[in-house]
């Protein structure tokens, strides 16, 4: 005895599954975003030689956040920070940064900054090496 089967797609239900925060696709995107966030925070803590410790109080580390946003109806997950120091930490400064030049004072004879809890004065500085914590943390999203 042959059986006849008919399928009817509910496009609205498919759209909800793909774009709703409670849908499986967005939940998976958020789960992967949290993995990247966690790995980025680990890398800021100085887990290896390529990623030197760049936080003293944890304020910068905790500023790395996961955000769900939509472009039209397309869901996206953004992992990052709004801290103004992030670009310098990620890309490096001075000879290690994009301009490849020592940092020199513009308006004074010497630079003044804090290093190791002490005030330091210098006529120039090499800057700091890059810690590409966000770029290297993206690998965690594949797991």
The per-residue DSSP string of 20-85 comes to: STTSHHHHHHHHHHHHHHHHHHHHHT--BTTB----SSSHHHHT-EEEEEEETTEEEEEEE---TT
Stronger pLDDT, 75 or 117, i.e. the higher one: 75
Interval 20-72: pLDDT, tens: 888 889 999 999 999 999 999 988 887 777 777 766 778 888 999 999 999 98
Look up the pTM and report it. 0.80
**pLDDT tens-digit map of 17-32:** 888 888 889 999 999 9
Backbone angles phi, psi at 19, to 5 degrees: -120, -15
For the chain, give the percent of residues with pLDDT over 90.
Answer: 52
At residue 130, the pLDDT reads 87
User: According to the model, what pLDDT value does residue 54 have?
Assistant: 66
Is 90 exceeded by the pLDDT of residue 134? yes
């Amino acid at each position: 005895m042959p059986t006849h089967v008919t399928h009817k797609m509910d496009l609205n239900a498919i759209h909800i599954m793909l774009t709703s925060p409670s849908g499986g696709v967005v939940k998976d995107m958020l789960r992967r975003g949290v993995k990247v966030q966690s790995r980025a925070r680990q890398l800021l803590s100085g887990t290896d030689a390529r990623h030197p410790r760049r936080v003293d109080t944890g304020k910068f580390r905790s500023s790395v956040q996961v955000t769900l946003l939509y472009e039209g109806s397309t869901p996206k997950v953004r992992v990052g920070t709004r801290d103004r120091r992030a670009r310098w930490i990620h890309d490096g400064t001075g000879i290690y940064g994009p301009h490849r030049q020592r940092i020199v004072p513009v308006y004074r004879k010497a630079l003044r900054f804090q290093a190791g809890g002490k005030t330091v004065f210098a006529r120039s500085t090499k800057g700091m090496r890059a810690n590409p914590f966000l770029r290297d943390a993206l690998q965690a999203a594949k797991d």
